[in-house]
Amino acid sequence: MGIIKKTSNLHAFIIRHVLKRIELTVEQQQYFCSLLTVKQLLPKQYLLEQGQICNHETFVCKGFLRSFTIDEKGNDHTLHFAFEDWWITDSTSMLQQIPSTRNIIAQEASVVLQIDKINLDQLYKDIPAFERFWRILDQNSAIAQNQRILNSISMNGEALYKTLIRKYPTLEQRLPQKHIASYLGISPVFLSQIRKNLAKGENK
């Protein structure tokens, strides 16, 4: 009974998310939920590993996930992260069915809902409104990515950091400093100095 109730709560959570963007009948909501699977992740557990083919769109119900790639020198580069009520995937790998160039890992204990590529393609055919739903998500993602690129060109390290933390106030409690630094494209040492300088300014 507890598992059924928990799944029902997860479905209610994702349906609220969807209905902010498109309209669905009760039957369509139920059909969508029938295509979803629940996955629980432990801290540091991989959802996707570099080299695997990504076959799922993943919605974060609880927890925090990070997307990153490892370069030839073994350096870890944070690409994206996902809070609750966010989606995370490797769209290129999923759409083209090619090996992923990134990893997706749970930074903390997480619960996600997933829909696989086969069911997603069927969902588009059965409920065309979902094509609009994912188009909205993709457009918002593209806008955010473009803004991130513009910021990286026009801002110095301190401005980048302040902008990021202003936008995501809880990020520092959920993501280690080294990963925040790699997301910003600066060294952990430089980020540490930025934080110290800002702390000094606040204490004056």
For residue 7, the model assigns a pLDDT of: 84
Q: Tell me the per-residue pLDDT of 21-68, one tens digit each, with 9 for 90 and over.
A: 999 999 999 999 999 999 999 999 999 999 999 999 999 999 999 999
Tell me the pTM.
0.92
The SS3 assignment for 116 reads: strand
Does residue 186 form part of some domain?
Answer: no
For residue 5, the model assigns a pLDDT of: 55
- For the segment 86-114, the average pLDDT, to the nearest whole number, is 96
d(CA 57, CA 3): 22
Q: Residue 37 belongs to what domain range?
A: 2-154
Q: Tell me the per-residue pLDDT of 117-176, one tens digit each, with 9 for 90 and over.
A: 999 999 999 999 999 999 999 999 999 999 999 999 999 999 999 999 999 999 999 999
For residue 45, the model assigns a pLDDT of: 98
Q: Does residue 2 carry a pLDDT above 80? A: no
Name the more confident of 202 and 123.
123
Does residue 170 form part of some domain?
Answer: no
Write the CB contacts of 86 (distance below 8 Å, at least 6 apart in sequence).
Answer: 59, 60
For residue 27, the model assigns a pLDDT of: 97
Does residue 174 form part of some domain?
Answer: no
- For the segment 94-119, the average pLDDT, to the nearest whole number, is 97
Phi then psi dihedrals of residue 175, to 5 deg = -130, 125
Alpha helices in 52-128 (DSSP H): 91-96, 117-126
Task: Give me the DSSP letters along 140-165.
Answer: HHHHHHHHHHHHHHH--HHHHHHHHH
User: How many domains are contained in the chain?
Assistant: 1
Does residue 107 form part of some domain?
Answer: yes
For residue 44, give the CATH number of its domain.
Answer: 2.60.120.10
Are 123 and 130 a contacting pair, CB within 8 Å? Answer: yes
d(CA 67, CA 65): 7
For residue 176, the model assigns a pLDDT of: 95
- If one counts every other C-beta atom within 10 angstroms of the C-beta of residue 203, the result is 6
Does residue 42 form part of some domain?
Answer: yes
Does residue 77 form part of some domain?
Answer: yes
Q: Does residue 4 carry a pLDDT above 60? A: no
For residue 1, the model assigns a pLDDT of: 43
Does residue 40 form part of some domain?
Answer: yes
For residue 203, the model assigns a pLDDT of: 54
